[in-house]
Amino acid sequence: MTIPSSVLSRWSRFAASTPRPFGTGLINKTYLVEAGGERAVFQRLHPVFAASVNEDIDAVTRHLERKGLLTPRLLLTDDGASSVDDPETGRPWRALSYVEGESVDRLDTPPIDGTARAHAAAALVARFHTALEDLDWQYRHVRVGVHDTDKHLFALDDALERHGAHRLWQDASALGAQILEVGATLPSLAALPLRHCHGDLKISNVLFERGTSRGLCLVDLDTLGRMILPFELGDALRSWCNPRGEDVDDADVDVAIFAAAVEGYAAGGGRPSAAEASALVDGLFTICVELSARFCADALDESYFGWDERRFPGRGEHNLLRARGQWALAQAAARRRSELDTVVRRAFG
């Protein structure tokens, strides 16, 4: 696959260039394109994203740039369009300015220490949040119910009801019962303010200066939107503080990385309100419970697209392992609650 020439030629300065597959992202199809000393990242959007997301990216990145932050910018076509539909699949293609740097799939990728990267990445996220505080923008592309925890718990309950004959039902229902029991006792975070958020702060979406831990900018902006801070940071923390990844069942919260990230957020000027700060660990815990519910339901529905055919007999098995991993992480967060809360109080107290 490559970029169709009828698409590429809409950005005429790149029409004669040869696109190279780029990055390790699993969601969009990403290419690097170069012409006349200018580099651009072309992406064909995954079906979960509509073309309107580019209007959001344009508005947010303009604002970031006005505030002096480094950021990819949306490159419009010669005639001012923000994306071009693929002639075969109909999916939108867009172009972004390339930012020189490197991203990593694991926080602890040598030679740089995981805590140094966590500190720098969180400081960058804080600058990003602060710069967007005064942005007046109604998002065009809204992911409805993305962290509607009750909805995800209900879907798990429903999947357990529907799939009594599934080969994994016994295991999934034992785990599912625990998730649903704890899910019913989650604190309500609904009163917290919605802020402009990135929405998917996994470490591969942070661009670092090559060979150092200096954070340059955030990429992968398809999930921009308003969200409560404990969900934005809780989601980042649950992936950063679990360097062993999603495909193991005995996960733990790495307190040193958690502390580095929380301190980095404060060092970058992040100033959560007292209510947001005290809900930070609740956010982390809630996201872990929510994800374990989603993976557990997916195990029975066999629905998730990102499974590894070499390691697992089916989607169900892979998803059940992921559900166990996020559940172990939730339990670790609960076990370490007072330790984590102390870190948060020290940073923002």
Ligand X SMILES: Nc1ncnc2c1ncn2[C@@H]1O[C@H](COP(=O)(O)OP(=O)(O)O)[C@@H](O)[C@H]1O
**Residue numbers of the site for Mg ion (CB under 5 A)?**
25, 205, 220
Binding at 26: pick from ligand X, Mg ion, none (beta carbon under 5-8 Å per type): ligand X
Binding at 263: pick from Mg ion, ligand X, none (beta carbon under 5-8 Å per type): none
Closest CA relative to residue 93, chosen from 35, 53, 141: 53
Q: Which is nearer to ligand X, 72 or 270 (CB)?
A: 72
Q: Which is nearer to Mg ion, 173 or 205 (CB)?
A: 205
Binding at 72: pick from Mg ion, ligand X, none (beta carbon under 5-8 Å per type): ligand X
* Residue 222 CB neighbours (<10 A): 23
Q: Minimal distance in Å, beta carbon 203 to ligand X?
A: 9
Spatial separation of the C-alpha atoms in residues 237 and 233, rounded to whole Å: 6
Q: Minimal distance in Å, beta carbon 25 to Mg ion?
A: 4
Q: Minimal distance in Å, beta carbon 34 to ligand X?
A: 12
Q: Which is nearer to ligand X, 28 or 286 (CB)?
A: 28
Question: Would you state the structure tokens that stand for residue 201, as one six-digit string?
Answer: 């702060």
Q: Minimal distance in Å, beta carbon 77 to ligand X?
A: 17
Q: Are 121 and 232 in contact (CB under 8 A)?
A: no
Q: Are 269 and 126 in contact (CB under 8 A)?
A: yes
Nearest residue to the partner ligand X, using Cβ: 25
Q: Minimal distance in Å, beta carbon 210 to ligand X?
A: 11
Question: Would you state the structure tokens that stand for residue 312, as one six-digit string?
Answer: 């697992």
Binding at 115: pick from Mg ion, ligand X, none (beta carbon under 5-8 Å per type): none
Spatial separation of the C-alpha atoms in residues 158 and 285, rounded to whole Å: 22
* Residue 1 CB neighbours (<10 A): 8
Q: Which residues bind ligand X (CB under 6 A)?
A: 22-23, 25-28, 30, 41, 72, 96, 98-99, 103, 204-205, 207, 219-220
Q: Minimal distance in Å, beta carbon 94 to ligand X?
A: 10
Closest CA relative to residue 44, chosen from 103, 95, 105, 102: 95
Residue type, 162: R
Matching residue, tokens 């140094």: 116
Q: Which is nearer to Mg ion, 58 or 200 (CB)?
A: 200
Omega within 30 of 0 (cis) for the link into 21: no
HSE of 346, CA atoms in CB hemisphere, 13 A = 13
Binding at 314: pick from Mg ion, ligand X, none (beta carbon under 5-8 Å per type): none
* Spatial CB neighbours of 138, under 8 Å, sequence gap ≥ 6: none
Q: Which is nearer to ligand X, 222 or 263 (CB)?
A: 222
Q: Minimal distance in Å, beta carbon 44 to ligand X?
A: 10
Binding at 184: pick from Mg ion, ligand X, none (beta carbon under 5-8 Å per type): none
Q: Which is nearer to ligand X, 219 or 291 (CB)?
A: 219
